[in-house]
Amino acid sequence: MKRNSIIAMTAALCICGSLAGCGGSSSSSGNTSKSTEAKTAAASSEAESTSPAEASTEPESEAAESTSMPTELTDNIMDYRFSIGGNIVGLPATFKDLKDAGWEIKGDKSAITNNYGYYFDLKKDDCMITVWLQNDTDEKADLKTDEGAAIVKVSSVMATTMWNKSNIEIPKNIVAGVATPEDVANAYGQPTEIINNTEQGSITYYYYEGEKVEDHKNLDRFIAVLFTRKDKDDNNSPVVMERISMQWENY
């Protein structure tokens, strides 16, 4: 829908430009103070500078914005950042941002079809994160190249203690595997939404801006902190933070 709006706006501007050009030509012909040679030269110069071929090069697809990975955590969870093994990961971002920061795709898949997205596991040293990569353009994105990586958006990112031995930390020194729901609430305030899964013994805190909605899944942006029993085989084991998930754009 965003892409269609851009195309419609571009077409409207082209039409307006054409009408303006006709009006200018009529006005010039009535001005006898200018020589025919001068008018011809001006028209030729204008045609060269605004040729139809050049005007049609306006991109029809939304390319991802150029950003970079942050270098430090802040004290605000709504800044959409976490640290894993000392590596700061944040949103918004492109895949090129993660690639430039040393993250590599785990597995063989290395391209995304136009207007499509996939989940990917990324590794850096002993750390692993899972991301949703979205290609909103009308061309296939080769993630091995900087050009392809730069047009792909990181829609969401997640890190869990299940696949990582390195520390996972969110703002205000909240560390996965240690922090309790009370620790998180004390650090950031009560979450906008809480979901209890009594069967699995898990709790998820959802933080997002604005009033509570009926279903957070309809939101573009939210942060989810998952808590589970430290020892999953012991019902009396303390419940601690296991996973941090951040979503920036909903697809």
Computed over every residue of the chain, the mean pLDDT equals: 81
pLDDT category at 232 given cuts 50, 70, 90 is: confident
**18-to-4, 41, 128, 248 alpha-carbon distances in Å:** 21, 19, 54, 40
Strands (E), 182-250: 193-197, 202-207, 222-229, 239-247
- pTM of the full predicted structure? 0.74
What span, in angstroms and rounded, lies between the C-alpha atoms of 225 and 246?
A: 9
User: With 90 as the cut, is the pLDDT of residue 236 above it?
Assistant: no
Q: Comparing 30 with 89, which gets the higher pLDDT?
A: 89
pLDDT category at 163 given cuts 50, 70, 90 is: very high
